[in-house]
Amino acid sequence: MKNTLFAAIAFLSIFTACGQGTTMNGSSQESDTKTTATNVTKVVKTDQEWKALLTPEQYYVTRESGTERPFTGKYVDFKGKGTFICVCCENELFDANTKFKSGTGWPSFYDIIDKNKVTVHKDYTHGMIRDEVTCGRCDAHLGHVFDDGPQPTGLRYCINSVALDFMEKNK
């Protein structure tokens, strides 16, 4: 009985922790924006609006927390100068200067442009515990962050190409 009770409490603790750290868009089903405590103007759209805006692969990755196959994304070996932005809302996420070759099959960055640009929270899917990275403006799933990256941060933001667009830096 004690073990069953302990297991139930542990499960509820983990289940509750899944939502912590996320920036949810509330219960509204209408398109609108709202400001969070971090002064980020939120982009909120219905599923139908996202489907009209995005390709099926972009929708699958960003709105359904999917992933693209490794080594297939357009930004894996990309070396442009500029800024990587969210494909859903154009939020500036990663400076190209922080991109590095990780060999994982997805674009990798060792830092974000600003801590308010992304949200990181625990992801308990697929039998793993990982830190999911979502857009701080529209909650799009971008990828995951790991602590095996290069200095100066030691982080590796492993991001789906399909979740990104690129703004070239003016020369």
- The residues that are catalytic are 158
* CA pair distance 45, 138, nearest whole angstrom: 9
| Tokens 């920036």, residue located | 23
Contact 55/44 with Cβ under 8 angstroms? no
Length of the chain: 171
Question: Where are the alpha helices (H) located in the chain, listed in sequence order?
Answer: 2-17, 47-53, 56-64
**DSSP state, 149?**
-
Answer positive or negative: Cα dihedral of 163, 26, 123, 125.
negative
* DSSP string for residues in 82-122: EEEEETTT--EEEEGGGEE--SSSS-EES--S-TTSEEEEE
